[in-house]
Amino acid sequence: MGRLFGTDGVRGEANADLTAELALGLSVAAAHVLAEAGTFAGHRPTAVVGRDPRASGEFLEAAVVAGLASAGVDVLRVGVLPTPAVAYLTGALGADLGVMLSASHNAMPDNGIKFFARGGHKLADELEVRIENLYEQHRSGEAWDRPTGAGVGRVTDYDEGFDKYIAHLMGVLPNRLDGLKVVLDEAHGAASRVSPEAFARAGAEIITIGAEPDGLNINDGYGSTHMERLRAAVVENGADLGVAHDGDADRCLAVNHKGEEVDGDQILAVLALAMREAGQLRKNTVVGTVMSNLGFKLAMEGEGIDVVQTGVGDRYVLESMKEHGYALGGEQSGHVIVLDHATTGDGTLTGLMLAARVAATGRSLADLAGVMNRLPQILINVPDVDKSRVATSPELSAAVADAERELGSTGRVLLRPSGTEPLVRVMVEAADIDQAKAVAGRLADVVKSALG
């Protein structure tokens, strides 16, 4: 079978790919691997377990809790909270392990399991591989070594998690939001209670949409993957800005007072300038990915801020930040990491900091985001090609070189094999949308002929 763990935990259709048996087995395996790694040495281990509001999260949570407790791990069940809240509580409560049940922006039938190590950081790849291997070993018949009597884990509902996380957000907010009117789109997801409470406590006048989760409606027409309703609500209510989260609220996209979308690159640009002004932008550097809009890089260079680019995925952004001591990084999709205050992307924190910048400067979000001119970006997926030959095809290399000469310094080309499908992604940026379309179309044709 293929690897269970992807770039963001284990994810699949709940009760089909992701079953109760799998959730239980992986949880037991995780407990054993962390015990062997010395994480539990000298004390009784504790885990924080949370979930988003998906219906399937109810039985999957029960399976994870059962697995951990059966392996001798005490469980603090925090209920429905955002992924970054579970990561924060794992660190703040001194827990040895955190588990979040969510499929993020995926549609309702899917669900996922994400493990956090002590401190609230993502598990190392090596530990994920060991968990998966141990799970497979025992699935084939080998019995687990199980504690009995007082050795089994105890399960407690930790209701204080909500207020503890809100207090954390209030504690790191640079200034209040009094006088701002903000529309919040919660995607009927994990932040449906947290985000409105945080913005209200910070002083904003709030209007909420997509904040009535019923277990079945998560991401359905609302949230960061469906911005239409938020754009309309901001304009209709004369709001200063709108903030959209995804299902587990590790993302944030925004809308300015005109109803125009402000993406993750633009949010990063606004926060980078704010953090530099406050002396918090360590090494005068912000981390993006190879998919960050060229306009972002040009804007930061124009402001004298260095940009480091990583592979696509917030895990790679975070790895670079931790390795080199950077304070701010993120993706165009709205995963923004402020490492001094969060161990993962935190959509509520990002939205609060963005609104705080608007409040502190008295400038509109449209004006602040105007520091960056977002260049037209065309993405074409070319299916059914041999993606392994992208880097070795002379014909493709020549076509890319021609395209780069044509675009010059105000455009760029990126060819990227998909990590999960037999296709190649052709991305072209240019100052002119028609030029970007023409160059992307030509390159896609070459990809088909050279790699087909």
Per-residue pLDDT of the chain (452 residues; tens, 9 = 90+): 457 887 778 899 999 999 999 999 999 999 999 999 888 988 999 999 999 999 999 999 999 999 999 999 999 999 999 999 999 999 999 999 999 999 999 999 999 999 999 999 988 889 999 999 999 988 877 788 899 999 999 999 999 999 999 999 999 999 999 999 999 999 999 999 999 999 999 999 999 999 999 999 999 999 999 999 999 999 999 999 999 999 999 999 999 999 999 999 999 999 999 999 999 999 999 999 988 999 999 999 999 999 999 988 888 999 999 999 999 999 999 999 999 999 999 999 999 999 999 999 999 999 999 999 999 989 999 998 888 888 888 889 999 999 999 998 889 899 888 766 778 999 999 988 999 999 999 999 999 988 88
Where among 119, 141, 159 does a domain terminate?
Answer: 159
Q: How far apart are CA 289 and CA 331, in angstroms?
A: 6
Query: Does 104 count as an annotated binding residue?
Result: yes
Per DSSP, the residues of 220-250 read SS-STT--HHHHHHHHHTT-SEEEE--TTS-
How is residue 25 written in tokens?
A: 């087995």
Q: Report the relative pairing of strands 155-157 and 110-117 from DSSP bridges.
A: unpaired
Q: What are phi and psi of 202, to 5 degrees?
A: -80, -5
How is residue 81 written in tokens?
A: 């909270």
Residues 340 and 447 in one domain: no
Domain boundaries, position 86 = 5-159
How is residue 306 written in tokens?
A: 């260095």
Residues 353 and 302 in one domain: yes
Q: Give the model's pLDDT for residue 139.
A: 84
Q: How far apart are CA 426 and CA 413, in angstroms?
A: 8
Q: Give the model's pLDDT for residue 1.
A: 42
Residues 432 and 355 in one domain: no
Q: How far apart are CA 38 and CA 35, in angstroms?
A: 5
Cα three-residue angle 168-58-69, rounded to 5 degrees: 80
359 CB-side CA count, 13 A: 21
Asked if 364 is an active-site residue, the reply is: no
Query: Does 246 count as an annotated binding residue?
Result: yes
Residues 322 and 407 in one domain: no
Q: How far apart are CA 363 and CA 187, in angstroms?
A: 28
Q: How many CB atoms lie within 10 A of CB 157?
A: 11
Q: How far apart are CA 198 and CA 354, in angstroms?
A: 13
Contact present, 85 and 194 (Cβ < 8 Å): yes
Residues 259 and 298 in one domain: yes
CA dihedral 279→285→286→287, nearest 10 degrees, is: -140
Residues 135 and 228 in one domain: no
Q: How far apart are CA 340 and CA 272, in angstroms?
A: 14
How is residue 237 written in tokens?
A: 């209510």
How is residue 173 written in tokens?
A: 């907010």
Four-residue CA torsion sign, 319, 320, 324, 328: negative
Cα three-residue angle 86-92-93, rounded to 5 degrees: 90
Residues 34 and 71 in one domain: yes
* Domain of residue 92, CATH code: 3.40.120.10
Contact present, 9 and 99 (Cβ < 8 Å): no
Number of folded domains that form the chain = 3
Where among 308, 338, 369 does a domain terminate?
Answer: 369
DSSP single-letter state for residue 53: S
Residues 332 and 199 in one domain: yes
* Domain of residue 414, CATH code: 3.30.310.50
Q: How far apart are CA 47 and CA 325, in angstroms?
A: 28
Q: How far apart are CA 68 and CA 144, in angstroms?
A: 12
Residues 316 and 232 in one domain: yes
Q: Give the model's pLDDT for residue 2.
A: 52
286 CB-side CA count, 13 A: 30
Residues 336 and 189 in one domain: yes
Number of residues that this document lists for the chain = 452
Residues 397 and 330 in one domain: no
Give the ranges where 278-338 is alpha helix by DSSP (H). Answer: 294-302, 314-324
The pTM score is: 0.91
Query: Does 248 count as an annotated binding residue?
Result: yes
Where among 96, 126, 159 does a domain terminate?
Answer: 159
Query: Does 220 count as an annotated binding residue?
Result: no
Contact present, 243 and 254 (Cβ < 8 Å): yes
Q: How far apart are CA 169 and CA 248, in angstroms?
A: 16
Q: Give the model's pLDDT for residue 49.
A: 98
Residue 246 Rama label (left phi>0; alpha psi -120 to 50; beta): beta
Residues 81 and 174 in one domain: no
How is residue 49 written in tokens?
A: 């377990």
Candidates 362, 363, 351, 355; CA nearest to 181 is 355
Contact present, 31 and 45 (Cβ < 8 Å): yes
Catalytic residue among 27, 102, 104, 195: 104
